[in-house]
Amino acid sequence: MDGRASAPAAGTIVNALATGRGSAFAIDRETTARVELSGGGDVTGTIAGAPDADTRLVERCVELVVDEYGDGQGGWVETESEVPMAAGLKSSSAAANAVVLATCDALGVAVGKDGALSRADAARLGVRAARDVGVTVTGAFDDASASMLGGVTVTDNTTDELLARGTVDWDVLVWTPDERAFSADADAARCERVAPVVDVALEKALADEYERAMTINGLAFCAALDFPTEPAIVALEYVSGVSLSGTGPSYVAVGEHEELTKVQEAWNEYDGDTWLTTSRTDGARTE
């Protein structure tokens, strides 16, 4: 009983840490999961290229799907990712989505409009797993839904409700510094202090003014989480949408390719990696 699936990364439009409501958009870098199920026993997980990484999330995703749709199977799961871990690019959500779909694939469970499990509910299983193992503060349904469904999603993470969904066609620039920042370690109390500003960003997102929402969010969370605003200010000479992604340390800018190459020239002066990609209108898929 084997299954395979992939899910895209995502960037932040509005971080849900301040108010419980957030927004994210899918970007074209992927995490792939392979699942092999057998008669019974434990689930063991590995993360390609990271032998010491915490595998509790991917293992828990398999367990929850088996609990719901299987018959006590155990097995093995491996993820392989183009998405840097702990960089604010929703690597955990992408991994959870890929594993949930791969496990469904192994069990023969159809996911989608006419399937036993809707795509949104598949994302909610991954969110549940993330809460179970403590890798998220908000539950991250905004990140998970953007990765699973594609495009832009706006959500209430306190209820795992999808508030709105949209489509964008952006070129995307990412700068990822060398350091890493784990979402579960973010100072939630400081983030809550910028809630009035983030409420404005969410209003913009609900009105499909995604680039303005990103920029308002980015400046607010740079202040709350003590990240520099300079990368955003540099980008705003050329684009109108730029944000700290998640709880950092990555920054994401969106716009036209020609303008983003100018931002990339500036961001290349900083330590770390910059890379150009695109938004994704499709989301996670079984392979």
Q: Strand pairing of 43-47 and 21-38? A: unpaired
pTM of the predicted protein model: 0.95
State pLDDT tens for residues 142-197. Answer: 999 999 999 999 999 999 999 999 999 999 999 999 876 555 556 778 899 999 99
Q: Give me the pLDDT at residue 176, please.
A: 95
Report percent pLDDT > 70 for the chain: 98
Q: Give me the pLDDT at residue 183, please.
A: 55
pLDDT at 138 over 70: yes
Q: What is the DSSP letter of 84?
A: P
- What whole-number distance in Å separates Cα of residue 222 and Cα of residue 232? 9
Instruction: Give the helix/strand (H/E) hosting 235.
Output: helix 230-235
Report percent pLDDT > 90 for the chain: 86
Helices and strands of the chain, counted as H and E runs: 9, 11
State pLDDT tens for residues 34-55. Answer: 999 998 889 999 999 988 889 9
Please provide the average confidence, as pLDDT, over all residues in the chain: 95
Alpha helices in 74-187 (DSSP H): 91-107, 119-133, 141-149
